[in-house]
Amino acid sequence: MGRIYLLRHGETEWNRQRRVMGSLPIALSDTGVQQARALAEALARRPLAAVYSSPLRRAMETAEILAAPHGLAPVPVPGFTELPFGEWEGKSWDELRLLRLYQDWRADPTSITLPGGGTIAQVQERAVAALERLRAAHPEQRLAVVSHAEVIKCLLCHYLGITLKFLPRLIIDNGTISTFSWGEDGVRVVRVNALPAAVAAQP
C-alpha cells in the first residue's frame, strides 16, 4: 500500500503578520525552520522513496530540511504551487476581510476568479493531476510532498468527495502533516492537520 505525507511548509514572517503570500518567494522564519526540523524528525524513520515540493521558496526550504535525513533532494512539482492570489498578494487578510469580493470568495470560492490571480478549481485540477502521477510512479512506496494550505485543502476536498464550496471550513496549519494512503480500493484520508509529534507516535 502506498502512502503520502502531505505537509504544509513552515511558518514565514508573513504568516505571522497575516499577509497574503500566494506565489511570492517568501523565506521561512526562524520558527518555520524549527517547524521544518520537527517535521523531519517525525518522518526520519519512515522509508521515504522521494520528497516532492511546491517550487516556492518557503516550501522548498522546508522540503530540503525534511529530505536531508533520507539522503534525498526534493523534486519541485509546479502542480503543488499555491493558489496565485494576484492583486491580493502582499495585503493583509484583515484588510481583505473588508472587501465584498473577499466575502463572496469565502462564501463560495468556486464562484470567484481572483483579480490578477487564479481560481481554486484550477488549483485543484493541477494538484490532483500531480498527485495521481506520483501514485502511478510510486504505487507501493511512501512519499512526502511539501505544499501550501489551499493546495492541501483542494486535495482533501477531492479525495473526500466534497465540494470546493466547503474549502473555507478546512484548517491546515503551518508545519502539519495530512496523510493519504492508497491501494486497490483507491485513496483514503488517514490523518488531517496533525502535529509532527502525533505522526511520530504512530506506526
Provide the annotated active-site residues: 9, 82
Say if CB 141 and CB 148 are below 8 A apart: no
Compute the distance between CA of residue 130 and CA of residue 108 in angstroms, rounded to an integer. Answer: 25
Owner of C-alpha cell 530540511: 65
Compute the distance between CA of residue 55 and CA of residue 70 in angstroms, rounded to an integer. Answer: 20
Sequence-separated (6 or more) residues with CB below 8 Å from residue 11: 28, 29, 31, 32, 35, 174, 175
Among residues 72, 10, 15, the alpha carbon closest in space to that of 37 is found at: 10
22: left (phi over 0), alpha (psi -120 to 50) or beta: left
